[in-house]
Amino acid sequence: MGDARVMVFAPAPQLTVTIEQQHNQPELHVHPGGQGIWQARMITSLGAEVTLCTAVGGEVGRVLKPLLDFKGVQLRTVPRESGSGWYVHDRRNGKRQELAEQPGAPFTRHELDELYNLALAEGLRAGNAILSGPAHPSVIRPDVYGRLAHDLKAHGCRVIADLSGDHLKAVLEAGLHVVKVSHEELLRDGMIKDASEKSLTEALVKLHSDGAEAALLSRADAGALALFNEQIYKVAIPKLSIADHRGAGDSMTAGVAAVLAKGGEMTQAVRTGAAAGALNVTRHGLGTGHLDAVQVLTERVKITPLKKAT
């Protein structure tokens, strides 16, 4: 386990406050959140270790920082002048209602310099890196991701990105090993015209030609599509009852990273990622799941070749 490590670049974590109903009484849950945090949690569940590179600040940051120091994670932080992001959700009626949120202020030049140097050093030390996105694209510039992807890959680090929009374009221009994106993000950003299989496979080919050696495309409960080894595959995931659909894509990325960090092949990485994503929707805690359950579900993931990536 000590040899399998992933650096997770999570520049802007959030303090998440959720109100739930338990036995006719309101119950308050306070956790660290954000894409990179959920990915880090799932990676540790799958038997790899994480170096979490992040930045926190302000009153929210003082509450958030100790919550980030969970088992299996080596926490490396940069102090911020402004406050960290947060959100408050009410789920007492069984649905998620956003009461208030703040993604955090944009990074200053000095903060970016410190965080970049930290992530570069730790990424090269780990040999595997996930570049995760902020809660809002205004928090950190896309070029930071592009430079980091380029420098990490140029010096032998395996780079996996779970990004969208201009941040995705920046890492593709730099070149990297694996990109994961959802079809909702591609639709939102105008990168596909519809969610047909034809449009999605064409998008995978473009992601590959633009700079990703392998590409994964999640499609909610419709299963995923994957391109690796110059072949496009359909990934059929087990159908499970949904408690919370959020975080499935992040768990998929985490599963891929954990397997690759442990020396596994891409086929097994995709199968494990799909299983981790499927399991995540059965739980209210994002980025959570037991290793044994993921292993059992991995055996039920079917990968079917569709066509050559030409």
Give residue-wise pLDDT tens across range 107-120: 999 999 999 999 99
Helix (H) and strand (E) counts for the chain?
10, 14
pTM for this entry: 0.91
| Strand runs labelled E in the chain | 5-9, 14-22, 25-33, 49-57, 73-80, 85-90, 97-102, 128-132, 158-162, 176-182, 212-218, 224-228, 231-236, 302-308
Give residue-wise pLDDT tens across range 168-187: 999 999 999 999 999 999 99
What average pLDDT does this structure show over 36-65?
95
Tokens of 24: 């006719």
Tokens of 125: 């030390």
Domain ranges across the chain: 5-308
Q: 5-308 domain in CATH 3.90.180.10?
A: no
Give residue-wise pLDDT tens across range 145-162: 999 999 999 999 999 999
57, pLDDT greater than 60: yes
Give residue-wise pLDDT tens across range 286-302: 444 567 788 888 888 89
Give residue-wise pLDDT tens across range 235-270: 988 776 554 555 578 889 999 999 999 999 999 999
**Interatomic CA distance for residues 131 and 266, integer angstroms:** 18
Give residue-wise pLDDT tens across range 122-142: 999 999 999 999 989 999 999
